[in-house]
Chain A
Amino acid sequence: MFAPFMVNAWIVATLVAIVAGAVGFFVVLRGSAFVAHAIPNGSFAGAAGATLLGVNVLFGLGVCSLGGALGISALTKRGRSDVATALTLAFLLALGALFLSLGGGYAPAVYSLLFGEVLGISVSQLVPTVVLCLVSLAALALIYRPLLLNSALPESAPSSRVELAFLLVIALATTMTVPVVGTTLIFSLLIGPAATARAFVSRPGVAILVAICIALVIVWVAIGASYLSGWPVGFFVGSLSAVAYATGRAYSALASR
């Protein structure tokens, strides 16, 4: 499973895990799991549109995830965040359905967008993924303190700029991770490791590092198990995230007794 064609998979999955662990920490802290579900799923419209037009899928993903983030941000200013998120998601999915039907005969590509194709990552995909990974981590490091403050005390430190910046970070992370683990599974990789880490540590910086470590273990084990068993990577990512979370909850329950 360490054959040359697998090297890209290992590298990309590692980067995805690092970004998902760090971004996911704030997603869970802010209770914005729904947004983290909506942006990746909505970005599927971009991928479908890009395929239809014959342009780079990453470009389409980027346009739709950034558009989704901006849409959610704009609508949230004058309304409830869950409603804004739901309508943005529904609109993007509707666009995606249209692009799919116009394109025709696209089912295998859709499947890979939903569940990823980490084993099929090419060298040409590697460079943009690395760049996006570095950009999202740098952006997150830049806004780390204001974002932490705004997440913990939205009442005393309201900041629409910080909120928008974080939505854009989710959009960047989405663009980078969807081709690898798919729209469905990036969701579990954002939430599972971060939610698990909270159970074990009480300091924010440490919790981020633990979340990253858990995400790394999940993707590495998932790729290895998928290679050996022939079962989809996504199955292992999703179930390992759930197992990690259950373990964290059990630990919390035992520790608080």
Chain B
Amino acid sequence: MTATLNPSPVKADPALRVAEASVQIGQRRILDEVSFELTPGTVTGLIGANGAGKTTLLRAILGRQALSRGQIAKHGRIGYVPQKFLLDPDMPLRGRDLVGLGLDGRRFGLPLPSKAKAARVEEALRQVDAQSFADTRVGRLSGGEQQRILLAHALISQPRLLLLDEPLANLDLRSAKEVVTLLSRLAAEHELGVLISAHELNQLLPVMGQVVYLADGRAISGSTDEVIRADVLSLLYRHHVDVLHVHGRVVVVAGEGDQVLS
């Protein structure tokens, strides 16, 4: 480690460093030398179409997918909110119980009543504004409410890195906006590196400090101004694309088929 040489190790030490990470399954290359760093305190958007490799990249960061090449260096705990959570409505488990399992769910033995634990659960619920529905069975909550509970479940272990797989996919516009604002606030308050995967970047634009844009397993990262440009994305897609700005929204569209770049 060279971090000790640096005068301000917190800033210089990214929460996550992905270096030339490649994943090959059979003949198919899912990730192709993906490199980027995640800075604590910022929200990073992992943008790409379905099949671009977003979930594989998240799985690789979580250590559930072996790399065929490259490295992923992580510092501190990782909180993870999966994409699909279809919780059984009859499951006898309250939001509060699920958040508590985020704290001690990997420990053995029966849980003993603990005031300290209850206080931490309450605090995690407060952070995501989920106190009002914490005593309802999780499976009976709305999609947005379940997501908040899962977020509190991930936050309570005090991670340095928070990964969310398509958190906006099943939310209406208003809930999506609330979640994005909440994540941005949590990133700043807790010095968290937040990585949000999404196939649509507009909802993340207001809060994104960095974007990792994935296409066909290749990635390019930087600020949104650096990355969301026709020339940059055309190189990434190896195909001409246009970036249109419409009423403050960004649209990436494919150009004519014969304008292939390489």
Contacts and interface: CB of A to CB of B under 8 A. Distances in A.
A interface, over-half SS: helix
A27 to B, nearest CB: 13
Contact of A203 (B97, B104, B107): B97
B109 A153 contact: no
Contacts of B81: 156
B209 interface: no
Interface in B103-155: 104-111, 135-138, 150, 153-154
A153 B97 CA distance: 12
Interface residues of A, number: 27
B164 to A, nearest CB: 11
Interface string B80-115: 111011011011111001100100111111110000
Interface in A161-206: 197-199, 201-206
A158 interface: yes
A127 B165 CA distance: 52
Contacts, number: 78
A144 B110 contact: yes
Report the contact-size class of chain B (Cβ under 8 Å from the partner). Answer: 20 to 34
B64 A148 contact: no
B92 A157 contact: no
B108 A142 contact: yes
Top-6 shortest CB links A-B: A149-B105, A155-B82, A207-B92, A149-B101, A202-B137, A198-B92
Interface of A: 29, 31, 141-146, 148-149, 152-153, 155-158, 197-199, 201-207, 252
Interface of B: 64, 80-82, 84-85, 87-88, 90-94, 97-98, 101, 104-111, 135-138, 150, 153-154
Given A143-B108, A202-B92, A202-B135, 8 more contacts: A29-B91, A141-B109, A144-B110, A149-B106, A198-B92, A199-B90, A201-B92, A202-B94
